[in-house]
A and B are shown apart, each in its own frame.
Chain A
């Protein structure tokens, strides 16, 4: 024979399970619409703007890496060692930027 407390906690557990299931479904639906989660979208305007975003993120990192290497070579007289190293690091940073554009966004920690 179950006590009233145990009945309550079973009830609570069932309700919690139902709640988390419906939350998961919501989240899945939100991902389905792709509301700001994925840059792969239909219309031409969006596509062009996403393309230019990815281009600018990728190119900017390489340009910055090359500029650092170039200036470092001038300062330390190590041409072309630093240029090569920082160009490669810049390319890696470019891929990292593009990954961050494409990865799903997470909300800030203290968002209300």
Chain B
């Protein structure tokens, strides 16, 4: 009945390396499952290489086209060199979000450690690529053009803080959406149990049951939408690394 019990980590296979707790947890197990799910979708479904795609191949192709058009429209033609990265990120997060919605599974993306690791990786890629590609001209990102010098003195720190807040907001958004959704589902499910065990109140039990069904549909939308939002923002940030200074 505890709505946060579903987020607890359990050690499936305790491993201690050099005094570091590197146990194989349920989170690791479900991450592995999500990665295998992506590989299965991409390799098995497209294995026939049919000219007229079957159901699985059509899904894989639609996913590919969708991410490709997103990258092209947000990061420009040059952004396509990051397509494998963005596609991997999107596919993994999508499958992990969807697996988390199956009852009795563990939702990997409702752990802020996981989402922050992804966000930090994205931002380090942006910073490293920006400096590699443009050198110190990358810092023009923090100096909007056409602004007088005294205003820049205030504006540059604001822009820098705004840039540094990106990994935080990127990770908190995905984490908060998944956490809030799973807790809501659990609480509504708990209402059904409480009402059913409450004598005459049992006649009211179907109301939260239907609410749970509606919430589940909503969560399905949120799971897909948040994976997409993460991918789009990754592209937007990569666009800053490719074209700084505007």
**Chain A residues in contact with chain B, CB under 8 A?**
44-46, 48-49, 52-53, 55-57, 59-61, 63-65, 68, 86, 89-90, 92-94, 96-97, 107-112
Contact = CB atoms under 8 A, between A and B. Distances in A.
A14 to B, nearest CB: 33
A45 B73 contact: no
Interface of B: 72-79, 157-159, 161-162, 164-166, 168-170, 172-173, 176-177, 180, 218, 221-222, 225-226, 229, 239, 243, 246
A14 B78 CA distance: 37
A64 B222 CA distance: 27
B225 A49 contact: yes
Nearest to B73: A111
Chain A interface SS verdict (over half): helix
Given A44-B218, A53-B173, A59-B172, A111 B76 contact: yes
Which of B162, B176, B225, B229 lies at the interface centre, i.e. has the most chain A CB atoms within 10 A of its CB? B162
A64 B168 CA distance: 8
Contacts of A107: 73
A72 to B, nearest CB: 12
A86 B73 CA distance: 35
Nearest to A61: B165
A29 to B, nearest CB: 19
A93 B162 contact: yes
A56 B169 contact: yes
Choose among B169, B222, B243 the residue with the greatest number of A CB atoms under 10 Å from its CB. Answer: B169
Contact of B173 (A45, A56, A96, A111): A56
A97 B169 contact: yes
Contacts of A48: 177, 180, 222
A61 B182 CA distance: 26
